Amino acid sequence: MLRIGLIGAGRIGHVHARSVTANPGATLSVVADVIPEVAAALADRYGARSSGDIDSIFTADDVDAVIICSPTPLHVPHILAAARAGKPALSEKPVAMETTAVDQLRTDLAGLDPIVMLGFNRRFDPSFHAIHTAVEAGEVGTVEQVTIISRDPAAPPKEYIAVSGGIFKDMTIHDFDTARYFLGDIATVSAVGQNLDPGLADSGDFDGAIITLTNARGASATITNSRHCASGYDQRLEVFGTQGSLLAENLRPTTVRRSTAEYTEAQDPYYDFFLERYEAAYAAELNEFISAVTQGRHPTPGIEDGAAALRIAEAAGEAARTGRTIAL
């Protein structure tokens, strides 16, 4: 039974607290947050103890591994602290706001060989994962074109956007990892940014984007992002290869199809957002983390995957600003 210390009791912290509790191989020992009341509220719900002192978690006897749900700028220090304490860590994405921070982390971790997993949960979505397995098994031949549609149901507050690092590091970062999941190392990045939402006109960020990636072989991934989508959280993936294609459709709460005089076979709106849409993915991700820790192996995706996605995000920003294809 792996005893988990959870850092950060925000929205994503709640997701992991529930996953840990539901997982037969793990138990939630402690929840730490800089706001003690927030930590206590979450800890109480799942029968864990709480702490307002995050650093205490790295030395706690009842913590075998940590899950890092702190704000992005703290991911690197918390990963480092866990590594130094010899505690395996599952950190939320992105690993950092800047590639330079990851470079420093890499230097600081030299010789420690820590077990660190990055929370690119979509690799563990049952449908995306099944596509990956089928692709690896050669079902569609050689992969040529990956099409990713990824739209949020509604734009976050401008306050969130201001500190988010921008759409490419905040939102597309998941899609960049998905692209790498199927294409491996990315060679070129081109991007078009959109400013279509009047409510975000002065946010200083794009509210939509089209990004095209290629790998060294010339296979492509196309990502279509929007900060809003009337029908819900639109998350689709298609992998087209020489022998066929594999498509993951959106998830919905039920399988009901409604038919009336106006339309037929109408289905539910998609899940409203990532907690529901990727519930199974969070659970499977945690499973992989627990398995890796238990077996003493390095889980995937790791820090280098986070670093690679971050580099693509930075290149996408440059590509969107300059209108030039960026070579990595």
Q: Which residues bind a second copy (CB under 8 A)?
A: 22, 126-127, 130-131, 134, 139-142, 144-145, 147, 149, 151, 188, 190, 192, 194-196, 208, 210, 212, 214, 217-220, 222, 224, 226, 228-232, 240, 242-270, 323-325
Shortest distance, CB of residue 130 to a second copy, whole angstroms?
Answer: 5
The amino acid that residue 267 corresponds to is Q
Min. distance of Cβ 126 from a second copy in angstroms? 5
Q: Between 58 and 168, whose beta carbon lies closer to a second copy?
A: 168
Query: Of 168 and 240, which has the nearer Cβ to a second copy?
Result: 240
Residue 75 or 227 with smaller CB distance to a second copy: 227
Taking the least distance from each CB to a second copy, the nearer of 100 and 254 is: 254
Spatial CB neighbours of 282, under 8 Å, sequence gap ≥ 6: 15, 16, 19, 121, 124
In terms of CB distance, is 109 or 187 closer to a second copy? 187
* 170: phi then psi, degrees, rounded to nearest 5: -95, -45
Q: Which helix (H) or strand (E) holds 133?
A: helix 126-136
Antiparallel, parallel or unpaired: β 143-151 and 186-194: unpaired
Distances in whole angstroms, Cα of residue 25 to Cα of each of 45, 76, 242, 291, 293: 19, 27, 41, 9, 11
Rounded to the nearest whole angstrom, what is the least distance from the CB of residue 196 to a second copy in the complex?
5
Shortest spacing between CB 128 and a second copy, in angstroms: 9
Nearest distance, CB of residue 327 and a second copy, angstroms:
8
In what helix (H) or strand (E) does residue 39 lie, and over which residues does it extend? helix 36-45
- In the complex with a second copy, the residue whose CB is nearer, 52 or 184, is 184
Task: Give least dist CB 224 to a second copy, A.
Answer: 6
The two most distant CA atoms of the chain are separated, in Å, by 68
Tell me if 250 sits within 8 A of 276, measured CB to CB: no
* Cα 165 from Cα 97, distance rounded (Å): 6
